[in-house]
Amino acid sequence: QVQLAQSGAEVKKPGASVKVSCKASGYRFTTYGFSWVRQAPGQGLEWMGWISAKNGNTKYVEKLQGRVTMTTDTSTTTVYMELRSLRSDDTAVYYCARHSKTGISATNYYFYGMNVWGQGTTVTVSS
């Protein structure tokens, strides 16, 4: 069956980097794009960015530009999210999610519903 399996919990010091993995299985990997969504303790959902598994194109939320990098490895059907210069407010559960489809127009990208999710990875940033 279609699954996204994420790497385990991480504890990092402020200023460090973290790299979370998300291994996809059960379907043709390059067909769909992925988003990363995070959730701080007791808070709502925050979209971080998107990556195409077909060609590696990315779209990041402006507030994380320069600190986040999303990559894919088609040989292992794995998506990665690296976040650098960690701060205490980066403490959150990080989810990868697969979009049902992607639409691209001349002026916009349309990332349709996220219908498959990983189990989440807790990242704690503390000195």
Query: Among 7-15, 21-29, 75-83, 109-117, which window interacts with other proteins (CB under 8 A)?
Result: 109-117
Q: Please name every residue paired with 31 in a beta bridge, in sequence order, or none if there are none.
A: none
CB contact at 8 A, 114 and 37: yes
Q: How far is the CB of 88 from other proteins (least distance, A)?
A: 22
CB contact at 8 A, 104 and 57: no
Of 16 and 61, the one with the shorter C-beta distance to other proteins is: 61
**Taking CB under 8 A as the rule, does residue 119 contact other proteins?**
yes
Near other proteins by CB under 8 A: residue from 86, 95, 123, 125? 95
CB contact at 8 A, 94 and 24: no
Q: Which residues contact 122 (CB under 8 A, 6 or more apart)?
A: 9, 10, 92, 93, 94
Near other proteins by CB under 8 A: residue from 30, 45, 56, 73? 45
Give the interface size with other proteins as a residue count (CB under 8 A).
25
